[in-house]
A and B are shown apart, each in its own frame.
Chain A
């Protein structure tokens, strides 16, 4: 197009004007961009720098090693065992199917583990190690290590897992750990615990026993490591690391050799026993039979095992020694007597006539001896365990003073032990019945309570405490943990109870005769070794009501009843009589008579404790030597010769 000069000039002027506008606009935008750059990179730089650091740096927790638990001699009760596992990294493995196929030829792998591992690998990023199998033997791991070239991406790793070398012996005491659950964190005992470690999936926490009750001490505190990660979470390098603090080690008062004996001695029964050190309150043994293997739980218990444990009528999971409460039966008579004698309402030499029963406000209360004991003073009444004597004196002293005495001796009060579900038991009085049942106290209640029936309930631990307090006159308090992280815990020796020593001496003397007098109820189970004699008391507590009809026909013998309706057999004792070292309580659930079922166990346990190992046969009366030999042959004891304790005691 040919243009004249005028038109060319117009065109240029036009374009220049518009270009100016355009250029100005562009300059403005460039200025805005520069200003924005300045504000982001100079003014807000620190803030963005922080965000970049947060992006790239991840803080990971390092789990501390859990505190160990030892017995009084330094033998390990809960350990952290090395646990070998094999892991696979998908991106290093290449053909996963091929590698896993080769691996199965070397190591015995479960089908379900393999499928789970494959699923997990597909779900996660290719660089995340996935565990194929856990808790492998050293041989398996060695096999993998030797064949490493043929198994790309497969490595063996060592982790720590909780082990309980004493197995079932201390299952109820030490408890066990398991992976932390939602329940623990929301409603369980960890709901107030804000330790970040608990957010680690499958982090092991105590589920029962000492493991649970001293969880915070055993756990330790988390270490941290800062790692640099890229956008998809792959770890590029570790920047720094702060190791955490290992959990505190605990030393228990338990003598695991004695514990093992007690547990073995109780085997076959649904029973429990407690051995208390009279001097320090140390619990030397606290057994509940039958038991279970806590190692089953740390490995993840199978449904079959779990069902078996739950459906067993002997209740292996229950820690009967502390959470089982039973009518103490005749073992409660010391308390009734002590209350009456202390109150001065009865003279120890005063006699009560026992015709075999007593009628109070229209109800007939029977003595266990149908024909009656005749004239009974305090000494005879305890030795022969006459019920009528206690019916009589309990009415004179009244339930409130009996209840108060029971509490002074440790029954109906909760002993503070780091165990699950420690029972309080019941030492009933008027207020208690009013408060819990909204009924007024009746005289019949007092009569039942006087012989440890009716509302009275006590745990084996409480009975052992009672016996220790009777033996020493001091407020012996049970102690289960001797040291935490090397720091000694207060002794349970206790202050004097302030009871009349003469009265206590009479009670001890009567208990001595229970075991050592020809007519004592535990005479058959006496100790004959010089200076080791026991003082004790048997008990047989009814779990059913005996009707008038049955009474008329003759009371059905225990052997003829179904197991769960038989009487509980109880026995409490301390020894030696003149220098009390150990107090023992034994309860055999539905075992029948205390003198037959419980006293021999109590004697065996006491002797084992006194001799700190197997006692000589001479400590037993000659008549039972054969029986003892048979019993010893039957016992399935752990061999302690190779369990070397690092003598922490």
Chain B
């Protein structure tokens, strides 16, 4: 794995690398993060504290990290993939023992100034490892059953640890992120077809078994599913959050109620308004115009990443960039679906906008990797 492999006489060096950064992507990131600062300022009732200011500081830190990572050649990061993966697994194990418990889940490690959420790190390290794995694996073996089981094992290890916290949302994201990597790498369609068919079969079985002696879920689990499917069934119980979120979103209308004028968030009807449900505040205050603008910005970020992934001839860079794009996509798609009542409420933050240190830093590191791949791509 030497520099020569790439046979790239045009790779820039030194500070000249800054010119080769993917600047449109950087501007998009700044734009999205700024929307986040604005909303955090608004939900705090027009105050930089307690959320907007720390968020800006973290973004600044993340930005420096991103540039720093982008300066380091991509092959170094490929070599570090396994180390990073093992490191994140160790952190997940550590959470078991020294984790801080919040709201019934043990997800954080207290690092003094901030809480570290290892499962966020695992999302990226898993993508790195799988990209490196498929870079190493000869193409012909990609769909060989044994070489399919190996990455499955890589995926299930962190998934298992995260499920124990418990954090269903992140586990699902890990599975989907990992699955995407396998798909991009070219694992045969039949595998995915089987999984999808099995999934549909399971769902059908779960619903068909309800009320029969062999029902597959506990009654309360069925009730949760009911609440998800029709939140108005239980407006003051589990359905409360989602109902209030939908009211906030819908009442924003086309142009919104105006900055800091959202009654749903200002009067505390919204849950977790600075983290998972921050999109509802944005949608309430800036309406369809604001919400769809944010969606377009997100779509552009994903698009830019996918384009650079496709134009990159290095297998690792390509897979890594597309995988990070997918991870990023999953973040906002799941979060938005959740607050719009299209998916069950799982704790997934809105990337770059929701208040939260780990997610912000991890995302910026991930985009640092994307930039590194972009700067150091074979030309």
A52 within 8 A of B: yes
Query: In the complex, are the beta carbons of A19 and B251 less than 8 A apart?
Result: no
A18: chain B residues at CB < 8 Å are 183-186
Of the stretches A115-123, A227-235, A510-518, the one at the interface is: A227-235
A44 within 8 A of B: yes
A36: chain B residues at CB < 8 Å are 340, 342
Query: In the complex, are the beta carbons of B253 and A41 less than 8 A apart?
Result: yes
Query: In the complex, are the beta carbons of B186 and A29 less than 8 A apart?
Result: no
Closest B residue to A8 by beta carbon equals B313
Query: In the complex, are the beta carbons of A11 and B315 less than 8 A apart?
Result: yes
Query: In the complex, are the beta carbons of A45 and B254 less than 8 A apart?
Result: yes
A146 within 8 A of B: no
Closest B residue to A21 by beta carbon equals B183
Closest A residue to B247 by beta carbon equals A51
B246: chain A residues at CB < 8 Å are 40, 48
B252: chain A residues at CB < 8 Å are 41, 45
B135 within 8 A of A: yes
A56 within 8 A of B: yes
A2: chain B residues at CB < 8 Å are 5
Query: In the complex, are the beta carbons of A41 and B186 less than 8 A apart?
Result: no
A26 to B269, CA, bound (A): 32
A230 to B269, CA, bound (A): 7
Docked complex: A36-75 residues within 8 A CB-CB of B: 36-38, 40-42, 44-45, 47-49, 51-52, 55-56
Docked complex: A404-448 residues within 8 A CB-CB of B: none
Contact among B251, B283, B333, B337 for A49, CB-based, below 8 A: B251
Query: In the complex, are the beta carbons of B295 and A22 less than 8 A apart?
Result: no
B189 to chain A, nearest CB (A): 10
A15: chain B residues at CB < 8 Å are 184-186, 309-310, 315, 318-319, 322
Query: In the complex, are the beta carbons of B340 and A37 less than 8 A apart?
Result: yes
Query: In the complex, are the beta carbons of A40 and B250 less than 8 A apart?
Result: yes
Question: How many A residues are at the interface, by size bracket?
Answer: 35 or more
User: Residue-by-residue, is B281-297 near A (CB-CB < 8 Å gives 1, otherwise 0)?
Assistant: 00100011001100100
Docked complex: A19-35 residues within 8 A CB-CB of B: 19-23, 26-27, 29-30, 32-34
A246 to chain B, nearest CB (A): 34
Query: In the complex, are the beta carbons of B309 and A14 less than 8 A apart?
Result: no
The answer to whether residues A232 and B340 also contact, given A34-B292, A41-B253 and a CB cut-off of 8 A, is: no
User: Residue-by-residue, is B227-257 near A (CB-CB < 8 Å gives 1, otherwise 0)?
Assistant: 0000000000000000010111111111000
A230 to B248, CA, bound (A): 14
A55: chain B residues at CB < 8 Å are 244, 247, 263-264, 267, 269
Query: In the complex, are the beta carbons of A12 and B139 less than 8 A apart?
Result: no
Query: Main secondary structure on chain B at its contact with chain A?
Result: helix
A26 to B186, CA, bound (A): 18
The answer to whether residues A30 and B333 also contact, given A49-B251, A56-B263 and a CB cut-off of 8 A, is: yes
The answer to whether residues A19 and B250 also contact, given A33-B340, A38-B288, A41-B283 and a CB cut-off of 8 A, is: no
A649 within 8 A of B: no
The answer to whether residues A14 and B186 also contact, given A22-B326, A40-B246, A228-B267 and a CB cut-off of 8 A, is: yes
B253 to chain A, nearest CB (A): 4
A34 to B283, CA, bound (A): 12
Query: In the complex, are the beta carbons of B287 and A41 less than 8 A apart?
Result: yes
Contact among B253, B267, B288, B310 for A16, CB-based, below 8 A: B310
A56: chain B residues at CB < 8 Å are 263-264, 267, 269
A148 within 8 A of B: no
Docked complex: A162-201 residues within 8 A CB-CB of B: none
Query: In the complex, are the beta carbons of B306 and A1 less than 8 A apart?
Result: no
Contact among B138, B283, B319 for A37, CB-based, below 8 A: B283
Docked complex: B331-355 residues within 8 A CB-CB of A: 333, 336-337, 340, 342
A7 within 8 A of B: yes
B184 to chain A, nearest CB (A): 5
A34 to B336, CA, bound (A): 10
Most buried by B among A20, A21, A29, A228: A29
B329 to chain A, nearest CB (A): 5
A10 within 8 A of B: yes
Count of inter-chain pairs, beta carbons less than 8 A? 142
A545 to B202, CA, bound (A): 92
Query: In the complex, are the beta carbons of A51 and B184 less than 8 A apart?
Result: no
Most buried by B among A20, A22, A49: A22
Query: In the complex, are the beta carbons of B184 and A52 less than 8 A apart?
Result: no
B275 within 8 A of A: no
Query: In the complex, are the beta carbons of B292 and A22 less than 8 A apart?
Result: no
Query: In the complex, are the beta carbons of A232 and B268 less than 8 A apart?
Result: yes
A3 to B315, CA, bound (A): 10
Query: In the complex, are the beta carbons of A52 and B263 less than 8 A apart?
Result: yes
B291: chain A residues at CB < 8 Å are 37, 41
A236 within 8 A of B: yes
Closest B residue to A41 by beta carbon equals B288
B26 within 8 A of A: no
Query: In the complex, are the beta carbons of B322 and A19 less than 8 A apart?
Result: yes
Closest A residue to B314 by beta carbon equals A8
A317 to chain B, nearest CB (A): 46
A33: chain B residues at CB < 8 Å are 295, 333, 336-337, 340, 342
Docked complex: B299-328 residues within 8 A CB-CB of A: 299, 302-303, 306, 309-310, 313, 315, 318-319, 322, 326
Closest A residue to B253 by beta carbon equals A45
Contact among A10, A40, A52, A231 for B139, CB-based, below 8 A: A10
Docked complex: B133-168 residues within 8 A CB-CB of A: 135-136, 138-139
A49 to B322, CA, bound (A): 40
Most buried by B among A30, A41, A42, A47: A41
B142 to chain A, nearest CB (A): 8
Contact among A19, A30, A40 for B340, CB-based, below 8 A: A40
A8: chain B residues at CB < 8 Å are 313, 315
Closest B residue to A13 by beta carbon equals B186
A2 to B136, CA, bound (A): 9
B115 within 8 A of A: no
B308 to chain A, nearest CB (A): 11
Docked complex: A224-275 residues within 8 A CB-CB of B: 228-232, 236
A23: chain B residues at CB < 8 Å are 302-303, 306
Query: In the complex, are the beta carbons of A51 and B139 less than 8 A apart?
Result: no
A12: chain B residues at CB < 8 Å are 313, 315, 318
B197 within 8 A of A: no
B180 within 8 A of A: yes
Query: In the complex, are the beta carbons of A230 and B247 less than 8 A apart?
Result: no
Query: In the complex, are the beta carbons of A1 and B184 less than 8 A apart?
Result: no
B1 within 8 A of A: yes
The answer to whether residues A37 and B292 also contact, given A26-B302, A232-B268 and a CB cut-off of 8 A, is: yes
Query: In the complex, are the beta carbons of B263 and A30 less than 8 A apart?
Result: no
A26: chain B residues at CB < 8 Å are 302, 326, 329, 333
A33 to B342, CA, bound (A): 9
Query: In the complex, are the beta carbons of A231 and B268 less than 8 A apart?
Result: yes
A125 to chain B, nearest CB (A): 13
Query: In the complex, are the beta carbons of A236 and B318 less than 8 A apart?
Result: no
Query: In the complex, are the beta carbons of A42 and B333 less than 8 A apart?
Result: no
Query: In the complex, are the beta carbons of A22 and B180 less than 8 A apart?
Result: yes
Query: In the complex, are the beta carbons of A231 and B319 less than 8 A apart?
Result: no
Known: A20-B310, A230-B268. 6 other contacts (CB 8 A): A23-B302, A30-B299, A41-B287, A49-B250, A49-B251, A231-B268
Q: Could you tell me which B residues sit within 8 Å of A by CB distance?
A: 1, 5, 135-136, 138-139, 180, 183-186, 244, 246-254, 263-264, 267-269, 283, 287-288, 291-292, 295, 298-299, 302-303, 306, 309-310, 313, 315, 318-319, 322, 326, 329, 333, 336-337, 340, 342
The 10 lowest CB-CB distance pairs between A and B, nearest first, are A48-B250, A52-B251, A230-B267, A41-B288, A45-B253, A231-B268, A48-B251, A49-B251, A14-B186, A40-B250
17 chain-A/chain-B pairs, Cβ below 8 angstroms = A1-B1, A8-B315, A15-B184, A15-B185, A22-B322, A30-B302, A40-B250, A41-B283, A41-B291, A44-B250, A45-B254, A49-B251, A51-B250, A55-B269, A56-B267, A229-B267, A236-B267
Q: Could you tell me which A residues sit within 8 Å of B by CB distance?
A: 1-3, 7-8, 10-12, 14-16, 18-23, 26-27, 29-30, 32-34, 36-38, 40-42, 44-45, 47-49, 51-52, 55-56, 228-232, 236
